[in-house]
Amino acid sequence: MPRPLDGVLVVALEQAVAAPLATCRLADAGARIIKLERPEGDFARDYDTAANGQSTYFAWANRGKESLTVNIKDAADRDLVLRILAKADVFVQNLAVGAADRAGLGSDELRERFPRLVTCDISGYGESGTYADMKAYDLLVQAESGLVSISGAPGEYGRVGVSVCDFASGMAAALAINEALALRERTGKGSAIKLALFDVMAEMMTVPLLHHDYADNAPQRVGLAHPNITPYGGFQTSDGATLVISIQNEREWVALASEVMDRPDVASDPRYAGNSARTERRAEVDGMVQSCFSRFTRKEMEARLRAARIAYGTVNDVAGLSQHAALRRWTVDSETGSVQVPAHPDAGREQPRSLLPRLGEHDRAIRAEFS
């Protein structure tokens, strides 16, 4: 079956996570990705060796690509890159601000030279202003964007447990690139995409920001609970399992109180009518819910929640995720062995043959192709 981006050539001067994730999503859609690496390689290759001898981050974000080692400061290698770009559809880079320009690979200059080229520059805080030269690794942006301040339980700060800034930025870049390719079909001209990790996270922080700006009540760290909805959080069963429930409307609240908690009196009590009223009495409401959960095992409570059509989920550890009935996997092959990664989120997408490139694996073939 043809794939959406068959025939699209992407040149990626990328490293770490955000840009590689963007081009990985394009590769899954059929694009050819030529990954430009310095002679020592993308430093994400060396983060760890936990994925059957491969770096977990590299295995996550680099399947289906071709690796070409170049020194962009070398005139001959820069000319090679320009010959490739002459035939390319997309150029993605996430070097430090200004580095691509200094190497003669600045986006404005490239699009002037190749008008159909779509360029995507990924930075930490944008290309101007006092933060432009700041390094912007995932946890740093989690901190600067305010995400850390609303995450976790009261007390010591903690990071969100995955690279959420990198992931969100990579997906935003992939979407923007696809939009630019669609626009080019109508106009014949490429576009400039300028994407900053901080901007992506600022958008993800919209709801807390609006609460701060317009109601002066920015969310606080409330652990395994929702800052604005009650009851919505984790409750422990008699056998030690933690189930997270979510009450989104009054019908669900009545069902929880009457059918799960056996408290029809609470269901009709005006003190708990409406989410705002329940949130004002969060400790009291959550206490009643926890009292109910404490009387039943996980299996018994799950049966009651299902019967009342109350949304719930179980707090799993990573071992639980690994064995989860809903987890789908793709196999990615590498020189050290195969790696089982979570599948593309589109369940209808057939997995392409996926390989992790060795550093410089395609040097000879690509240099001959674009000589």
Active site residues: 226
What are residue 341's DSSP bridge partners?
A: 330
DSSP 49: -
Classify residue 40 as exposed, middle or buried by CB count within 10 Å of its CB (0-12, 13-18, 19+).
Answer: exposed
* Residue 342 CB partners (closer than 8 Å, separation 6+): 327, 328, 329, 330
Q: Are 356 and 53 in contact (CB under 8 A)?
A: no
Return the number of other C-beta atoms located less than 10 Å from residue 318's C-beta.
Answer: 7
End-to-end CA distance of the chain: 32
* Residue 258 CB partners (closer than 8 Å, separation 6+): 264, 267
The whole-angstrom separation of Cα 275 and Cα 257 is 14
Q: How many helices (H) and strands (E) does the chain have?
A: 16, 11
- Where is 236: in which H helix or E strand? strand 232-236
Helix segments in the chain, DSSP class H: 18-28, 56-61, 75-85, 99-102, 107-113, 138-144, 164-187, 197-204, 206-215, 250-255, 264-267, 275-280, 282-293, 298-307, 318-322, 363-369
The whole-angstrom separation of Cα 349 and Cα 334 is 22
- By three-state DSSP, how is residue 354 classified? coil
Q: What is the 3-state secondary structure (H, E, C) of 212-226?
A: HHHHCCCCCCCCCEC
- Where is 200: in which H helix or E strand? helix 197-204
- By three-state DSSP, how is residue 35 classified? strand
